[in-house]
Amino acid sequence: MSKVLIRGATLCYPHLGSERAVDLLFVPGQVLGMDPKPSQVRGAEEVDGRGRWLIPGLVDLAARLREPGATHKADIRSEVTAALLGGITHLVLPPDTRPAVDSTAVVELILRRAREGRGATVHAIGALTRDLGEEALAEMGALRAAGCIAVGNIGRPLGNSNLLRRALQYAASLDLPVHLQAIDPWIGAGGVAHEGRVAALQGLPGIPETTETLALARDLMLVEEAGVRAHFARLSCARSVALIADARRRGLRVSADVAMPNLFLNEHDVLPFRADAHLLPPLRTSADRDALRAALADGTIDAVCSDHQPHDPDAKLRPFPATEPGASGVDSFLGLGLKLVQEGVLSRSAWLERAALAPRRILGLPLPTLEAGALPDFVLVDPRAEYTLDAATMMSRGKNTPFRGWRLPGRVDLAVIADRLWIR
């Protein structure tokens, strides 16, 4: 493809410390420079950037792509495309595929399919234990050599504390980060909603906050003992925020994220038996939601993610307890982030820090630049545009979202990562 010139966009790169109108010239695969000379732009395709923001590509720390194992719901090709069209240039795939990401063959399959997809770049988390089970450690060194960016237990409780202790020590010896989701396998087992008045009124089995906090307290102690770098995924309650803050004060190398639904919704949003609001971790109290927002704003929670879990229609059509948990999130990630800015929860720069820059630091990825010769990794957004989130506007194959019908801000006019380019 020939050269592309974005003309007159507002540069919004908080880590570069400047905000101004720029012209940006690039070709797929390489940035050619900002504010180029007239002779350099001859023959370039022009994109109007006036009134639009030029931002780093967003990074989603949790996106199930349903491949391998559940391609009737979605696949890598469909979801990496949907992500790029939604302004997400990097996706992190948790290890709870079927089979789990516990062998080099599975890693190689995922990364090959992702490259063929021509959408967002995929980073795989390897399984901490074999088949994410309770019996044996996974071959972490081999998983890293195959391309895994970290190892973890995302999506599967790990109750065997001794096995977890050994796993964290092994990861520390490899200087390999671990991504942990704090879930006690016994407390709240079989629950489908936050344990409280709302669940009780509906006769739904509950999941108390101690399902998360008890496991988180244990995990933090084992992380401290092992000296491993740890990221804690999908916090859902105020008490978890306090535990992370205390760990930081004690000098632990830990970070944390929260999923978008937990920043906007609460336990009442499951009424009346709304299957699209059946999520894990569950939607908790309004006080928990507000504490998560405050922690995201002050940096106690480092990052926000979509926790993208696309489902086929049948998965959400059963009685509430029998429906499959999770929501499709890549289509709403940008809009909900901009809504946090509109509502004053985050400044624009803080939103970009939580959705684009901090996730890169957590993953060990370089921060994007626009210097000549750099690899393109940016998005052009029209913040004035609005749209209604519904099946017609969602690009993911999964249409299951508790935000259906919401009016959301923002539109992606251009997104590019490496040599993969989309222009509206």
Tell me which residues are annotated as active site.
Answer: 307
Asked if 54 contacts 420 with a C-beta cutoff of 8 angstroms, the reply is no
Q: How many CB atoms lie within 10 A of CB 25?
A: 20
User: Sign of torsion, CA 263 267 272 276?
Assistant: positive
Residue 36, both tokens: 């180029």
Determine the Cα–Cα distance for residues 104 and 97; give it in Å rounded to an integer: 14
Q: Which helix (H) or strand (E) holds 242?
A: helix 238-249
Phi, psi of 392 (to 5 degrees): -70, -30
Phi, psi of 163 (to 5 degrees): -65, -40
What SS3 string covers 345-389? CCCHHHHHHHHHHHHHHHHCCCCCCCCCCCCCEEEEEEEEEEEEC
Asked if 349 contacts 74 with a C-beta cutoff of 8 angstroms, the reply is no
Determine the Cα–Cα distance for residues 244 and 389; give it in Å rounded to an integer: 33
